Amino acid sequence: MQKIGGVYLTDKPMVLYIVSDSVGETAEQVAKAVIGQFDTRNYELRRFPFTTEKAQLQEVISEAKNENAIIVFTMVINGLREFLVEEAEKANVRTLDIMTPLLNLISKELNMKPKKEPGTIRRLDEKYFKKIEAIEFAVKYDDGKDPRGINKADIVLVGISRTSKTPLSMYLAHRNIKAANVPLVPEVAPPKELFNAPSEKIIGLTTNPRKLIEIRQERLKALGLKDGANYASMERILEELDYADKVMRKLNCPVIDVSTRAVEESASIILEIFKEKGYKVGSTK
């Protein structure tokens, strides 16, 4: 055994076969974590993903025997795990089951039977990353920052200031839905992308003017400004609501009054509208 640069190198590399009825990432990461505890680089990891047939397992066992390899595996499909262990034992091939001991322990603790479905971790990861992607999308295309988001969005929310556009966008993002929102201001023409987008994916938001005055006055106080500013005046609010109504009519989109509704309720109505239209949005499961 030689030591080069503080790392021991054996004459013959240790070979680990990573076998799984799914991708095999779990077993590979565990194997790497364990090997990392030793001062050696003289090893090989060979992954055999989606091994779901007994014939495939026989081939893996035969190859492992020829290379004196250790089989590290995660198998949840009924019958395959038992077959692998029995056949490997007959061939004098060493095996290590990464998943079953913990699976049995948790099953006993929860008094539940495991699903025995391969790839559940990956599906959960994909769902998680879709949610993160939708949240990042909502932040990037919030408040009309970039009109290009209108074409990329599953849902586009339009309305005047303080009509819950941002909270709704974030709530929908947690349902894996990419939502962009565009403010409607009389002095600023809406982006052309809004009128080129399918009306089926646009939702207008409106509110009661008296309720909006209260909300805007509170907003001004929070900013340390006087609550009598034009932003919170009835005249200004009626002007904005009238302008927004004209734009929404031109867009031919559904309009929801959010004045007495919680964000969750408004989001539920939006999703129901899309369901009735048959317009598919991101996974809401």
DSSP letters for 204-267: EEE--HHHHHHHHHHHHHHTT--TTSGGG-HHHHHHHHHHHHHHHHHHT--EEE-TT--HHHHH
- What's the chain's length in residues? 285
Q: Is 159 annotated as a binding residue?
A: yes
Q: Is 166 annotated as a binding residue?
A: yes
Element housing 70 (H / E): strand 70-74
Q: Is 201 annotated as a binding residue?
A: no
Q: Is 122 annotated as a binding residue?
A: no
Q: Is 107 annotated as a binding residue?
A: no
Using CA atoms, how far apart are residues 240 and 234, in angstroms rounded to an integer? 10
Using CA atoms, how far apart are residues 160 and 186, in angstroms rounded to an integer? 9
Q: Is 62 annotated as a binding residue?
A: no
4 contact partners, CB below 8 Å, separation of at least 6? none
Using CA atoms, how far apart are residues 283 and 227, in angstroms rounded to an integer? 42
The string over 200-239, giving b where at least 16 C-beta atoms fall within 10 Å of a residue's C-beta and e elsewhere, is ebbbbbbbeeeebbebbbeebeeeeeeeeeebbeeebbee
Q: Is 164 annotated as a binding residue?
A: yes
Q: Which residues partner with 203 through β-bridges?
A: 157
Q: Is 161 annotated as a binding residue?
A: yes
Q: Name the binding residues.
A: 159-166
Q: Name the binding residues for ADP.
A: 159-166
